[in-house]
Every structure is written in structure tokens, then in C-alpha cells.
Amino acid sequence: MSKSDTAENEPRIPFKKVNGGVTAPKGFRAGAIGCGIKNPDNKRLDLAIIVSDHPTHTEAVFTTNQVKAACVRVSAQHMKETDTRAIIANSGNANACTGPQGIHDAKLMTKTAAEALGVRMRQVLVCSTGIIGMPMPMERVTPNIAPLARNLHAKGSDEASQAIITSDTHAKSYAIEVPCGTGSFRIGGIAKGAGMICPNMATMLCFITTDARVAKDEIKRAVRYAVDLSFNRITVDGDTSTNDTVIVMSNGQSDAPLIRSGSEESRIFRRALHKVMLELAKMIVADGERVTKFVEIRVRNARTQADARRVAEAVGKSLLVKCSFNGSDPNWGRIIHAVGYSGARIREELIDIYFDGL
């Protein structure tokens, strides 16, 4: 996991960690149900819905992989809707590389959820994670959507977080409350991810909700800022997948003032959103498949931010460096060789390398 001076040098914000994940902010409900998507004999929770009871400003970031799952393509189209109201997500099947049928199935999931929730089809986003190349077992999914929609509740975040995990060893959830102006707002999120983790969106899903009143242009800027300094700074195995998605929904139900671009409130909101994403990103790395160490790479005094990132990613992705970390061997020679091929402008004689301050 890499950091840069940009994130470290900005002032810290006061916040209080709270329980509740995506249902910690006001006006959001969630829940999950078991459909047997991967295995009809195993009814573990594998289908989740998150809904806002009020109109939202929503922003999403999707995988940069040229091979995109059907759910990513459908959600990207639905993001053109001005008022996203719900997310339906499943584990056990990625609905990726499934051709026209996959698109049809992703649309059917949004249509069925919309009918059950009383909203328009394009107000629902869809996400999937699991095995690539297998058709969605819609005969087991579709009948369960309406019963799930009827049982969403204000403490359903834990169920939803369980329903989206695949090879994860545990669910991932984080929420905070932040004072702002004369009031406060909350941000909560859930995420999944363990394998195929690499910058430029990793194999992960992340759903974040907030009751902050955020102007539409500002939430877009804030999401890009926070994603770049969190999920786009982690790597486990160097692979980028077909389904990666981060969705942030803001319904404006808090008593905090309106957050406009360039205001002090906007800086507070960006730092708060970054905090939630960063904590979830750290959980993903720590829970990575076969992970034995959690390592944070910090690059200071680089000529540019781009050079800092090149160095951090070269070191973080190096198999030789990972082997030395795994073996608890502080082999700095492997680190400096990665710095040398990173593409950043360097002066070898001025480089200092520290292991936990040593």
C-alpha cells in the first residue's frame, strides 16, 4: 500500500467512528438474502440491496480493464440517471464474459429490484462478483429479489457486507461521524476484496453512503480524489479485474450545511470520504489471499507526485521485494533496484531507505 505527501500533508479532521456501515447515515436501508448463486445447496447470504429513501447525488468509479463485466456496463449506463436510489449486488458469480445474455440478466436484476422498490429501472445500479464466464442462475436470483426488497432495514449493513464477499475471510465495514458547520454528517461503507488487487481499481466492490448534503459537482471531485488516494494505491497480486466498482451515494439528510466546491466544508468532506475509503482499502490488503504481511510504502521528496507514485508502485509490485517482506528480510537492495527501474527521475546517492524508521 502506498502513500504520498499529498494525503499526509493535509490537515486531519475530527471524527468519531460509529457502527452501522452503509446504514449509519440517515435515510439508508439494506439487507441480504441467500439464493444459492454459486451452489444451490448452500444458502449463505449472496444477494444484497442498499437503498436510499430519498433522492441522491451518486458518483461511481469502475474498472479500467478493457474486459468489463455486464454489470459494469449496465451500471455505467444507469449512472446517466440523475437520481440513483438503489444498488443490487451479488457474490458467487461475476456475470463477466457472458455475452448478450449477461447484459440481459444484469438489466433484469435492476428491473426486478426497481419494481419491488417502487423506483425506475435506471435508478438501480447492479454489481456482481465471483466466478468469471458462468451464466447467472437467474432462476434462483429473480424470485428472491422482491422478498429481499420487502425486508430491508436500518441495521442491514452487516447482512449486505456478508453477502458481497467471495474469497475474503471476513466482511469489511467502516463508518464515521464528522462535525461540519453547525451540524454533522455521517459516511459509512462496506467493501469486498482479497484477490486480484492492483491499482487503477482492484478486484473489489465498495459501496459508500453519506447523509451529507453535497453538490453534484463536488461529490464527483471528492470521489475521484478519495479513490486515487486509497483504492488506487493498493496492490496484492498485481492483477486488475473485470468487475471493480466504487459507488458513493449522498442523500443530503444530515443537518450539516450544503457542501460546495472550494468551501471549507468541501475540504472536510473530501478528507472524511478519503478516511473511510482508506480504512476499507487497508482491510482489503490485510485480508489479501495468502497475505502474511501488511506493508505501507511511503515516498517522500519526489520531484513530482507522478514520480512518487511510480516509485511506490514499482516497489509494491516487485515479486522480489514481496519475497523479502514475506521472509522478514530487510533486503534494501531489492527495493533500490525497483526504484531504479520505476521510470522516476532519481539521484542514486541521495536515496534513503527506511524499514519502520530504521
- Residues belonging to the active site: 203
DSSP 284: H
Radius of gyration (Cα) for the chain, nearest Å? 20
Angstrom CA distances, 285 to 232, 264, 265, 268, 327, stand at: 12, 32, 30, 26, 18
The b/e string for 13-40 (b: 16+ C-beta within 10 A; e otherwise) is: bebeeeebbbbbbbbbbbbbbbbbbbee
Angstrom CA distances, 46 to 11, 189, 240, stand at: 40, 18, 23
Q: 68: which residues sit within 8 A by CB, 6+ positions away? A: 62, 96, 242
320, containing H or E segment: helix 319-326
Question: Would you list the DSSP string of 333-346?
Answer: HHHHHHHHHSS---
Q: 184: which residues sit within 8 A by CB, 6+ positions away? A: 177, 178, 254, 255, 256
Q: 180: which residues sit within 8 A by CB, 6+ positions away? A: 212, 256, 257, 259, 265, 268, 269
CB 74 within 8 A of CB 114: no
CA nearest 32: which of 189, 125, 159?
159
CB 58 within 8 A of CB 212: no
CB 91 within 8 A of CB 165: yes
128, containing H or E segment: strand 124-131
User: Strands 47-52 and 28-33: what pairing?
Assistant: antiparallel
- The values of phi and psi at residue 257, to 5°, are -65, 160
